[in-house]
Amino acid sequence: MAPPRLALAVIGDEIGPTLAEMISFCSEHGVSRLDMRTVDGRNLLAMTLGEVTPIAATLKSAGLEVPTLVSPLLKWPAPGQAPAGGPVDFAFDPAQCPQKDVLAHAFDIAAVLGASRIRVFSHLRYPGFAPGDLHRTIDRLQALSAERNILVEIENEPVCNLGSIAELAWFFEALPGAMSRPRPLVDIGNSYAMGARPDATDIAYLAPMVDLIHLKDRDLATGRTVPLGDGDIPWADELERLLSHIEAPEIVASIETHCPHDGRNATAQSVKTLRRLAGDIGAEIV
């Protein structure tokens, strides 16, 4: 059976801070999907809908689709819990949101952008976390998801309670059967960053629910994120293994470069590598 098609996307601010840089990159490299997080250094979740609307209009005029609002939802301390880690990339203080209801505002922003998905984390890591700690919030997110027809994607992130693929699988296995379920946003690079190569059993469990993945590479000796193909993650093997269990005919494959010193070139190299990898394993890029 042929692997699912890969709908190539890039995250806008991995290229540069301005819309002009994001749009010119997509035009230059034949990319039609742009996941959005920040513009000019400001997180979209900190903007009013009046500020987001012209951004959406500019992207639409450029012929770009926004599959995912890669929001910082829950990338902040849980109520009453002090985070155990250090500095956090793209952390967010809910007090910066112009609306009191941060979750609803995120869905409003996604709707303005025309995004079909919204990325969510699992609060900054704290001792004693249990899957049930998030159940009430998941219920609210899934209610908003049904109301707005926007999918909730839970990503594994090392600084958060669900950091590895194993922790992501543990969480989804613990969701009550009657609960409306979000989707797992599988980030294999994040798991490797924790020294936790994904287990075949966890991949086989999560993959049938997957419709979005993030791709980045790691130099494991130095702990640096590097352009896709320049690191130690055996991406051809990992991608082929993951895709062999995915049931959807098409998934979004989003490049999350994380090379701020040379974002545009690193993202260009990563896009080229993904296209090569897809060809090597017989997956179609669309």
pLDDT digits (tens, 9 = 90+) for 175-229: 999 899 999 999 999 999 999 999 999 999 999 999 999 999 999 999 999 999 9
Question: Is there a contact between 220 and 231 (Cβ–Cβ < 8 Å)?
Answer: yes
Angle at 51 between CA 48 and CA 53, to 5 degrees: 110
Distance CA 122, CA 164 (A): 12
Q: What is the Cα–Cα distance from 130 to 78, expressed in whole angstroms?
A: 12
The per-residue pLDDT for 89 is 78
Give the distance, in angstroms, between the CA of residue 277 and the centroid of all CA atoms in the same chain: 20
pTM more than 0.85: yes
State the Cα–Cα distance between residues 46 and 213, nearest whole angstrom: 25
Q: What pLDDT does 205 receive?
A: 98
Predicted pLDDT at 7: 98
Residue 96: what pLDDT?
96
Distance, in Å, from the CA atom of 246 to the CA atom of 280, rounded to the nearest integer, reads: 18
pLDDT at residue number 46 = 98
- Residues 92 and 75: beta-carbon distance below 8 Å: yes
pLDDT of amino acid 228: 97
Number of domains in the chain: 1
Domain assignment present for residue 162? The answer is yes
CB 89 within 8 A of CB 41: no
For residue 38, report the phi and psi dihedrals to the nearest 5 degrees. Answer: -135, 155
186 in any annotated domain: yes
With respect to residue 286, please indicate whether it lies within any of the assigned structural domains: no
Residue 211 falls in which region: left (phi positive, over 0), alpha (psi -120 to 50) or beta: alpha
Q: How many helices (H) and strands (E) does the chain have?
A: 9, 12
CATH number of the domain where residue 259 is located? 3.20.20.150
Check residue 156 and give its pLDDT: 98
Position 82 scores a pLDDT of 85
Cα separation, 152 vs 89, in Å, equals 21
Residue 228 lies in a domain: yes
CB-facing half-sphere around the CA of 150: CA atoms within 13 A: 27
Is 103 a domain residue? yes
What residues of the chain score a pLDDT lower than 50? none
For residue 22, being part of any structural domain is answered with: yes
Q: How far is CA 176 from the centre of its chain?
A: 24
Please check whether residue 264 lies inside any domain of the structure.
Answer: yes
Q: Smallest Cα–Cα separation from 255: which of 224, 225, 219?
A: 225
Give residue 84's domain range. 5-281
